[in-house]
Chain A
Amino acid sequence: MKLNLKIWRQENATAKGKIVDYPVDGIDGDMSFLEMLDILNEQLVEKGEDTIQFDHDCREGICGSCSLQINGEPHGPDKLIATCQLHMRSFKDGDTIYIEPFRAKAFPVIKDLIVDRTAFDRIQQAWGYVSVNTSGNTVDANTIPVEKEKADESFNAATCIGCGACVAACKNASAMLFTSAKVSQYALLPQGRVEATERVKAMVRQMDEEGFGNCSNTGACEIECPKGISLENIARMNREYLAASVKG
């Protein structure tokens, strides 16, 4: 199929970017979206032009590296998948496709379609873990009984791959879905309850310091999340945060 790609090009973090037109031909429906960009890059190399930079790693929907805003939606028109799992059969011959980086003040563009998402790392580092003594006398986590329902909810929250689609989809560039998934995966388990009060305060503080927006409960993040992380996590984080604030 033939496509007219409109791709955001930006030389570096400080340069002014712009949309550049790239017509491509010979695209097969079974190609993944990233393979389509690989083909375009090969054509650019043959012409001696600068290739389009984009993030990718596992190409299996697990690592959360790929991060493209495709036709106004993070990870494109299909739901519950990352960009690497999007296939060209989702588009029609002659389509115009806008490809932009995820936009947020906290996700500055590094080059072209690559953004700096280390703000998520810093939120995780704030307290996105449990403190476990690893001196050699560590108790097996499985010795602590956990309700099946809670374990499942915690696991679902833990499937967040930190791709940033929630931020990209939100009109306010809010990181509440990501942060709440990380808070929830521990808050739901007895091992995580021990530090729950300090954790939610530290992670929300870091989220605010990074400059993300507020949650307006539009639900866009939940719809666009490749792992289907639920808005219930945001409600849980709000409860956890209120309780932590009351405790002081």
Chain B
Amino acid sequence: MGGFLNSTIARKVAMALSGLFLVLFLAQHFSINFISVFSKDLFNEISHFMGTNFFVQALLQPVLIFGVIFHFVMGFILEAKNRSARNIKYVKFNGNENSSWVSRNMIYTGLVVLAFLALHFYDFWFPEMIHKYIESHPEDAARYYDELVAKFQSPIRTILYVVSFVFLALHLYHGFSSSFQSVGWRNKYAKGLRGFTQAYAIIIPLGFIFIALFHYINNL
């Protein structure tokens, strides 16, 4: 990690930009998933497009995977540097007096989200890659909705997803607004932007929780 990314500020900017990219992706992912609540056919159609379009598969997907890996690797690098900056801990540290729990514990909420991503990839991404590129099954535009619903038959998986989305909300609650400060964007609109980012951090994960519970309850 040489050159520009050697500096504290540059690393935080890179962290912020990768985070903003993932926030954008989250909105797109939520929009498509939410369609599954009211239209099986439209969900299948869009999923098939996303799963077979060359631009999405060959360009956007690698960029997304790079963005995810970059974000958590940089998170670990920053955390290691931060821990080394205070080699002797305070006997008494009253962090709640001057900062929020979520802002001080991004590494832990991030680790839960990372563990969730492993589960999510195990559930959807790896089976999809094996189905398409290893077992080379013929295209079936009608399979996506049933595959999604099948996963949410398990109450344990549904609970794991719901809990993970709560941690995602906590991570976004600080991370989304914080990313603008990291890139130096702070002006008269900052207060409004903070409100928007915090609303986003609650609404999008709540939406994902709703989708997971909807498919679980709908098929009881």
Asked if B109 is at the interface of the complex by the 8 Å CB criterion, the answer is no
Residues of chain B with a CB closer than 8 A to A205's CB: 7
Q: Are B82 and A217 interface neighbours, CB within 8 A?
A: no
What total of chain B residues lie within 8 Å of the partner, measured CB to CB? 39
Q: For chain A, which range describes its interface: under 10, 10 to 19, 20 to 34, or 35 or more residues? A: 35 or more
Produce 1/0 per residue, B88-120, CB < 8 A to A.
Answer: 111111110111100110100000000000000
Residues of chain A with a CB closer than 8 A to B6's CB: 208
Q: Are B11 and A173 interface neighbours, CB within 8 A?
A: no
- Please judge, given known A-B contacts A103-B89, A173-B86, A211-B84, whether A223 and B183 are in contact too, CB under 8 Å: no
Tell me the bound Cα distance from A236 to B185 in angstroms. 8
Contacting B at CB under 8 A, from A46-84, are 69, 71-73, 77
Chain A nearest CB: distance from B172 CB in Å?
A: 14
Number of A-B residue pairs with CB-CB distance less than 8 Å in the complex they form? 132
Asked if A105 is at the interface of the complex by the 8 Å CB criterion, the answer is yes
Residues of chain B with a CB closer than 8 A to A23's CB: none
Q: Are B99 and A219 interface neighbours, CB within 8 A?
A: yes
Q: Are A213 and B81 interface neighbours, CB within 8 A?
A: yes
| Interface residue stretch chosen among B135-143, B174-182, B200-208 | B174-182
Q: Are A104 and B81 interface neighbours, CB within 8 A?
A: no
Asked if A87 is at the interface of the complex by the 8 Å CB criterion, the answer is no
Q: Are A220 and B9 interface neighbours, CB within 8 A?
A: no
Q: Point out which of B11, B99, B181 has the most chain A C-beta atoms below 10 A from its C-beta.
A: B99
Write the residues of chain A forming the contact surface with B, with a CB cutoff of 8 angstroms: 6, 8, 19, 69, 71-73, 77, 98, 100, 103-106, 169, 171-174, 176, 204-205, 207-208, 211-220, 223-224, 231-232, 234-242, 245
**5 A–B contact pairs at CB < 8 A?**
A172-B85, A211-B84, A213-B81, A213-B86, A238-B183
